[in-house]
Structure 1
């Protein structure tokens, strides 16, 4: 992996075998420029680093979505001493944030642990103009071989649903395991795309209940299953992690809860859905929509109906989220297992 700040590893991912060796500077410059420009499709900008494409855009509207999701995850755990992660990591030296998005989590953690080096990695350049001196944001494909020299004390992942095939998912968790310190921690936060209602305030035929099914069908056709929230505990365990701990949430959509914290979470999450739905759905539905790929206009009309329904103050809906943290074993763990009576 590249160790340059916000720089793609062009040698690994872009230079073709038939390029002119005398023209490598102009080719590399052109490649870097294309990464920042991205690919515009259906009015949204997407990354160009991974050939298989990305199901979410990398544009300003999506960065606002990431900011809202970061804020609501922070608020809902604001009663904790550390609302950024739950793993019992003390005095970390090296932290990795996979799928860093706009880099907010990595920046906040770098501020919290000024003696640690915090790296955030994603497929597109984050919209930042200033970083703490101990925070490095990189553009790279996390599925490629990792070449960072220092093992990590914590690897953090968030909102990676439908980002990978099952085989890529297994490979990613193995990479995390192999590059953690013995006793180091992995932590991941994921949310469900299925909207739920417990009190009957939303009718059974509400379009809101259609959203999760639509996206799940499209993601399955794309070969990138949606629903990582139900499967990532098993994937983490399969990779060899121990001491797996889980925390489940209900994230309200809208300021309808009576609880002060949940009301604030609901307000932020409402904005998260309004801003983010088009980005979450456009690529999947225009390429793998059921029964045939949708048009851009069809997606926009669908999203407009979703927004109208969510804006109804009389309905009380939410979606689920799950946080998991787990530890890489140390030698003593294997001894305990081998010699336990």
Structure 2
């Protein structure tokens, strides 16, 4: 913690960069950071997994070392699936950004990679839980904060990036978040979002109609509806981005293989990494949702573990050419008329 504290800003309550912070002074931050950070790093335990403690409404994904490793696999899979581009980190035509924001930064891999790519830029990553790394590039700053609070950064961003936001927000919160992104971009700045559909797909009959793989998506969509936070945002994100005022909207849909079954070498490698992302993350992604919002009744922890074991067995079958869709959208904030 001591190695990276200067690059991690911990939000107090109220948050020091919010206007309602009142008499909160800069010198107070240093004295309170250690205790605040300690509480946030502890989080709270739910079914043996550590969860974030900053937002009372909760988020179904854990915030522990195992889940950070899963997010690292997700980041690597995204890089491999975008490896044909000169810049695999984002598609928006941003050449020399001075300020970049990564919303829901997780373990911070994307933010740190962008900071390395653009050493003259200041890259901020914000999330509900402190990132795990002990070394952070000097031009990268992580902030522990709730993006559903009103943003008050003093300067606007050239690029705002968002990934893996599925299940984090209600429809009203999504609308507010897109509004925040729009308002905090400089004129002509770009917003980019990539989300993975959680439904397992197959283009032939290799997956039997009664396979456990085909239950994952519908079961989670139903649980998300019970929770009030849709897990099917790939169907709504473009319309929501357009409604927020963005223009020049670009959309890319790709099949991400789950497993090394593809003939193409690069897709085979990406599929292997994506399968590790699934195998490592399934328990974390499912435990909270199914024990709170399972159908028809909340599941027990043991029931979730059995289900995850069945999913892992089905996914690792070499004769299963499963994939998922990923949607990437990048759009520009218009210049004033």
> Could you say whether these structures have the same fold, taking a TM-score greater than 0.5 normalized by the shorter chain as the test?
yes
Q: Which residue of 1 aligns with 2:50?
A: 45
Q: Distance in 2 between matches of 1:293 and 1:58?
A: 22
In 1, Cα distance between the equivalents of 2:31 and 2:192?
40
**Structure 1 residue 9: deviation in Å?**
1.5
C-alpha deviations, 1:22-42, integer Å up to 9, x for none?
Answer: xx9998754432211011110
Secondary structure of the structure 2 residue equivalent to 1:244: strand
Report how far residue 7 of structure 1 moved. 2.9
Equivalent in the alignment of 2:25: none
Answering whether residue 93 of structure 2 is matched by residue 93 of structure 1, we say no
Work out which of the residue numbers 222, 243, 259 in structure 1 matches 2:264: 259
Taking the aligned partners of 1:223 and 1:256, their CA distance within structure 2 comes to 36
Matches within 5 A, 1:262-281: 262-281=267-286
Give 1:315 shift: 1.2
Correspondence list, 1:1-80, <5 A: 5-12=7-14, 30-80=35-85
The answer to whether structure 1 residue 310 and structure 2 residue 315 are counterparts is yes
Match among 322, 333, 336 for residue 328 of structure 1 = 333
Q: Is the 8 A contact 2:11 2:143 kept in 1?
A: no
1:215 is aligned to 220
Cross-structure match for 2:136: 131
Distance 2:148 2:62 in 1: 19
Measure how far apart 1:116 and its partner are: 0.4
> Cα gap change, 1:104/1:257 in structure 2, threshold over 3 Å: closer, same or farther?
same
Does residue 1:121 correspond to 2:126, yes or no?
Answer: yes
Aligned to 1:181: 186
Q: Which residue of 2 aligns with 1:301?
A: 306
Distance in 1 (CA, whole Å) between partners of 2:277 and 2:220 is: 17
The range that moved more, 268-277 or 25-34, is 25-34
Aligned equivalents of 2:135, 2:34: Cα separation in 1: 23
What is the SS of the residue equivalent to 2:206? coil
CA distance 1:76–1:207, shift in 2 (3 Å): same
Counterpart for residue 163 of structure 1: 168
- Kept after mapping to 1: 8 A contact 2:148/2:177: yes
Aligned alpha-carbon RMSD (Å): 1.9
The TM-score with structure 2 as length reference comes to 0.92
Q: Does 1:151 align with 2:167?
A: no
Of the three residues 103, 112, 121, the one matched with 1:107 is 112
The structural deviation recorded for 1:13 is 5.5
- 1:224 and 2:226 equivalent? no
Structure 1 contact 207–309 (Cα < 8 Å) conserved: yes
Is the 1:13–1:49 Cα contact (8 Å) retained in structure 2?
A: no
Alignment deviations for residues 130-162 of structure 1 (CA, whole Å, 9 cap, x no partner)? 111100011100111112111000000001001
Instruction: Compute the TM-score of the two structures, normalised by the length of structure 1.
Output: 0.91
* C-alpha distance in 2 between matches for 1:82 and 1:196: 28
Aligned twin of 1:17: none
Q: Distance in 2 between matches of 1:207 and 1:34?
A: 39
Taking the aligned partners of 2:296 and 2:31, their CA distance within structure 1 comes to 44
Task: Using the TM superposition, give the Cα deviation of residue 202 of structure 1 relative to its aligned residue in structure 2, in angstroms.
Answer: 1.0
Gapped runs of 5+ residues in structure 1? 15-23, 335-341
* 2:206 corresponds to 1:201: yes
Rounded to whole Å, the distance in 1 between the matches of 2:208 and 2:175 is 39
How many angstroms apart in 2 are the aligned matches of 1:6 and 1:135? Answer: 9
Query: Hey, what's the Cα distance between the residues in 2 that align with 1:69 and 1:26?
Result: 36
Separation in 2 of the partners of 1:162 and 1:58?
14
Q: How many residues in Structure 1 have an aligned counterpart in Structure 2?
A: 323
